[in-house]
């Protein structure tokens, strides 16, 4: 397994280029204070790796890891969500590229994966619509639902969503041991995916997680291939966070770029490693472990 991972990294020169650019940026930003910068923010590199591995191996967004961690560091609600989005742009993109490469290599051998374009084309537009409605539309249409109006309750919203997500993952895990025989997507599936993605986009605007988790659980419950569900969720989440990051970077200007500099680099590494975690462990093991962890985080967030 280690050999395969090494080959994957070597086979893509752009990873080496990113590493060189990142090191150069660290030196430029740090300047004479480089040791201080590394001491204060170097630990976020590990956070990015851990968050991205779980995010890309389960289909859940990295915000499930980043949000409670940043809350413990007393970040403002705006900084928590904006910084989480920026980090996920790195990790979820790396994971999405990884899953798309996997799809390209196996789609002729596994008919179930031929459904991926149909799932993405249905989920991504509706997800972005819900996201942008919450980010930009609610301020004018329903001000009492805008992020600034409800941000003080972020910990409660995140905790409730995490608990419900954990329970849904546990419930859907029973399906993982059943034959995953569905290879066709029905009109009803498309309609439900549209609704779930729209609602998931709204939730994602508030919590930086939501759409990928909901789509993955739905596909698993409907007995579609588990790896397809995870891969699709990662790709959808990657597009969604890129659609979301502009608000935190330009409108609220709440992104902590020093954290992103380190955690984002770790997220790229974690995003590349995640698929091997899925293929090494059984989907049931990954899902159950992640569900228990998310349940614990949800309870601690509310308490």
Instruction: Determine, yes or no, domain membership for 157.
Output: yes
Report the predicted TM-score, pTM, of the whole model to 2 decimal places. 0.84
For 43-48, which contacts have Cβ atoms below 8 Å and span 24 or more sequence positions? Answer: 43/262, 44/259, 44/262, 44/263, 44/266, 45/262, 45/263, 45/265, 45/266, 46/266, 47/263, 47/266, 48/87, 48/90, 48/91, 48/262, 48/263, 48/264, 48/265, 48/266, 48/267, 48/268, 48/269, 48/270
Per-residue model confidence (pLDDT) at position 268 = 85
Say yes or no to pLDDT of 258 above 80.
yes
Instruction: Determine, yes or no, domain membership for 109.
Output: yes
Per-residue model confidence (pLDDT) at position 296 = 79
Instruction: Determine, yes or no, domain membership for 33.
Output: no
Per-residue model confidence (pLDDT) at position 10 = 42
Instruction: Determine, yes or no, domain membership for 4.
Output: no
Say yes or no to pLDDT of 272 above 60.
yes
> Total structural domains in the chain?
1
Which domain, by its residues, includes 106?
40-302
- pLDDT tens string 30-85: 666 778 888 888 889 898 888 888 777 766 777 778 888 898 888 898 999 999 99
Instruction: Determine, yes or no, domain membership for 24.
Output: no
Per-residue model confidence (pLDDT) at position 31 = 66
- pLDDT tens string 179-236: 556 678 889 999 999 999 999 999 999 988 889 888 988 888 888 888 888 889 999 9
Instruction: Determine, yes or no, domain membership for 27.
Output: no
Report, as an integer, the average pLDDT of 233-252: 92
- pLDDT tens string 127-138: 999 999 999 998
Instruction: Determine, yes or no, domain membership for 234.
Output: yes
Per-residue model confidence (pLDDT) at position 173 = 66
């Amino acid at each position: 397994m280690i050999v395969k991972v090494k080959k994957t990294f070597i086979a893509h020169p752009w990873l080496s280029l990113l590493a060189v650019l990142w090191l150069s940026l660290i030196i430029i930003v740090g300047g004479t204070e480089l040791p201080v910068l590394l001491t204060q923010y170097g630990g976020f590199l590990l956070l990015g790796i851990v968050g991205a591995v779980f995010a890309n191996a389960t289909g859940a967004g990295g915000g499930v890891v980043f949000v409670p961690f940043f809350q413990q560091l007393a970040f403002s609600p705006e900084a928590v969500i904006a910084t989480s989005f920026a980090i996920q742009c790195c990790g979820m993109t790396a994971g999405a590229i990884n899953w798309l490469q996997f799809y390209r290599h196996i789609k002729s051998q596994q008919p179930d994966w031929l459904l991926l374009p149909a799932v993405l084309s249905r989920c991504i537009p509706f997800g972005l619509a819900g996201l942008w409605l919450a980010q930009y539309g609610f301020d004018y249409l329903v001000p009492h639902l805008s992020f600034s109006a409800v941000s003080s309750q972020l910990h409660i919203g995140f905790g409730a969503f995490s608990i419900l997500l954990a329970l849904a993952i546990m419930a859907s895990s029973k399906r993982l041991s059943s034959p995953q025989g569905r290879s066709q997507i029905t009109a009803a599936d498309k309609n439900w995916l549209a609704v779930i993605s729209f609602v998931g986009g709204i939730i994602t605007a508030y919590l930086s997680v939501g759409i990928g988790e909901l789509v993955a659980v739905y596909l698993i419950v409907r007995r579609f291939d588990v790896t397809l569900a995870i891969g699709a969720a990662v790709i959808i989440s990657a597009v969604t966070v890129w659609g979301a990051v502009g608000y935190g970077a330009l409108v609220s200007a709440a992104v902590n770029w020093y954290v992103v500099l380190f955690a984002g680099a770790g997220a790229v590494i974690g995003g590349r490693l995640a698929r091997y975690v899925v293929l090494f462990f059984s989907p049931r093991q990954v899902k159950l472990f992640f569900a228990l962890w998310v349940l614990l985080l949800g309870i601690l967030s509310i308490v």
